[in-house]
Structure 1
Amino acid sequence: MYFPDHRLQVSNAPRSYLFSRARAYATASEETSGTITQSPEQRNASAPSATPSEAEPVEPRMPRSVQAAYLKPLKRKPIHGVPSCDLQLRSFSVRNLELMTDFAMRAAYYLDLPASGPVPLPRKEERWTVIRSNFAHKKSQENFNRITLRRLIQIQDGHPEVVQTWLAYIRKHAYHGVGMKANVWDYEPLGVGKNMDEKAADLEQQLEKKLALFGSNTESKHSALQIIRNLKHVQPGMPLSETREQSRS
């Protein structure tokens, strides 16, 4: 191997030795010429940084509440597995039914209600055969078909008040074309008859004031004719102050 300055001549030498000597010769030649090589790290540090406009735009991360709308609804795990409510949803459209079931499952999760489902129930098919027309086409018939799709959501270990809140929220924001039917279970302690009697007595006391307004009442001091005469009837020549006093009496 021959170098340009012909100061070193190596014929049989190890490769590492040749590389070390070549590196030393390169650095010596750069120092004499006045140029200094830079490492890749130094080059990157000295390179001008890209402006924010030239940098690649970073997509902002969506909020978790928005990102959760693209994922499956979360569910709470039941502890005892005691059913509290069965909600059955029915519709003729699959899209409307799936949208409402997804909304009900998400509402149950945020109300801390363990919900299972939605379970697809057997669909109901109905068919009718009627005549096409009553005059020219009365001998030809036409068939109509209607398919009802159903889903079932069960709430377990739910407090009765929370379940009623969940049902009221779903009823308020119900989607068009979707019918709902709920079966609610309420558990009472022993002595249900005594509790019902106490509640009935309280209801009677609350309704007494309203029921007293129906029918004739002998306790009224003024008759019907006297009340009619005092209301908005002004005789000619009578001052307005006297009319007001009569209506107040």
Structure 2
Amino acid sequence: MSELEPSNCNDPLLFFAPIFDWGSKLEPRITAYSPGIQTRVEVRRYASSPASRSNPSVQAPKSQPVTLEKEDNELRLPRSVQAVYLKPLRREAKYGVPSCDLQMRSYNVRNLEFFADFALRAAYYLNLPAFGPVPLPRITERWTVPRDHFIYKKSQENFERKTLRRLIQIRDGHPETVAIWLAFLKQHAYYGIGMKANMWEYSEIGVGKSMDVDMQKMKADLDPQLAQFGPGMTQDTAKKVAELLNSEAFKAAAGGNAPLMGKTLSY
């Protein structure tokens, strides 16, 4: 059936389709096979247009779909977010004097690469020239143990463990800044990562004299604590111990059962 006849239609809403038959010329998808409610709505939309009322052959302007593709292309992510998808930035070393060697170890290469990238980014924001990560030779360890006890003790089982390593070197770094960098990495340590750092500090000529002065100050502070040790006990400490043992309060607390209670100790 090519045309819809009202006498053969059971839906009363489709009686409006023959009246606005010119709507099918404006929109090809509006045919007699369209649902009645949809046909009625589409016809009303075109009938309300002034251009379609005066000249039905003129097509009404179609509304363009609203897209955000152009707006998305014009938007720019923050620099801090874009830097996550790029290589870590690096500072240039002026003199190239090593300040710290950080060695990281792990059994998982993915965690190792991730934390090495994190360490390089942290060094950049602390103004530390970082070089690496340099892959170091892996450590392979193997063990051969009995499989089990009793009847399985003659069969053996082999275990293998591979340790991956990366090296990051800091050059021309101030010792305090390097210490802050290491403390930051320790605070935000990633699971499964072990770290070992070797630091170098450079001082002016004649630093030995200043170290001797510092040693004398440290010795004066440590003498009272060192005097409490047995091998290095001083005479004053021995006298105080003898007075404590000979005191009546100590004898009363011991109840007369302490060794050498009936004797008077002297030093």
Bin of the TM-score, shorter chain as denominator length: 0.5 to 0.7
1:193 Cα deviation after fit: 2.0
Distance apart, 1:202 and its partner CA: 2.9
Could you tell me which residue of structure 2 aligns to residue 41 of structure 1? none
| Alpha-carbon distance in 1 for matches of 2:228, 2:62 | 90
The one-letter code of the counterpart of 2:68 is: E
More relative contact order in 1 or in 2 (CA 8 Å, sep 6+)? 1
Shift of 1:181: 0.7
Evaluate the alpha carbon distance shift between residue 157 and residue 138 of structure 1 in structure 2; reply closer, same or farther with a 3 A threshold: same
CA distance in 2, matches of 1:195, 1:202: 11
Whether 1:172 and 2:187 are equivalent positions in the alignment is yes
**Matched AA of 1:56:** L
Equivalent residue in structure 1 for 2:84, among 65, 69, 93: 69
What residue in structure 2 maps to residue 186 of structure 1?
Answer: 201
User: Of the candidates 42, 46, 68, which is equivalent to residue 56 of structure 1?
Assistant: 68
2:182 counterpart letter in structure 1: L
TM-score by structure 2 length? 0.58
Other structure's SS at 2:127 match:
coil
Mapping 1:58-137, distance limit 5 Å: 58-59=71-72, 60-137=75-152
Taking only the aligned residue pairs, the percentage that are identical comes to 59
How far apart in 1 are the matches of 2:160 and 2:103? Answer: 22
Q: Distance in 1 between matches of 2:192 and 2:214?
A: 38
TM-score in terms of structure 1 length: 0.62
CA apart distance, 1:178: 0.8
- Residue 191 of structure 1, CA deviation: 1.6
Cα separation, partners in 2 of 1:67 and 1:193, compared to 1, 3 Å: same
- Tell me the equivalent position of 2:176: 161
Count of residue pairs brought into register by the alignment: 176
C-alpha distance in 2, partners of 1:165/1:63? 27
Superposed displacement of residue 54, structure 1: 2.1
CA distance in 1, matches of 2:63, 2:76: 25
Select the structure that is richer in helix: 2
Please report how far the alpha carbon of residue 56 of structure 1 lies from its aligned counterpart in structure 2 after TM superposition. Answer: 2.5
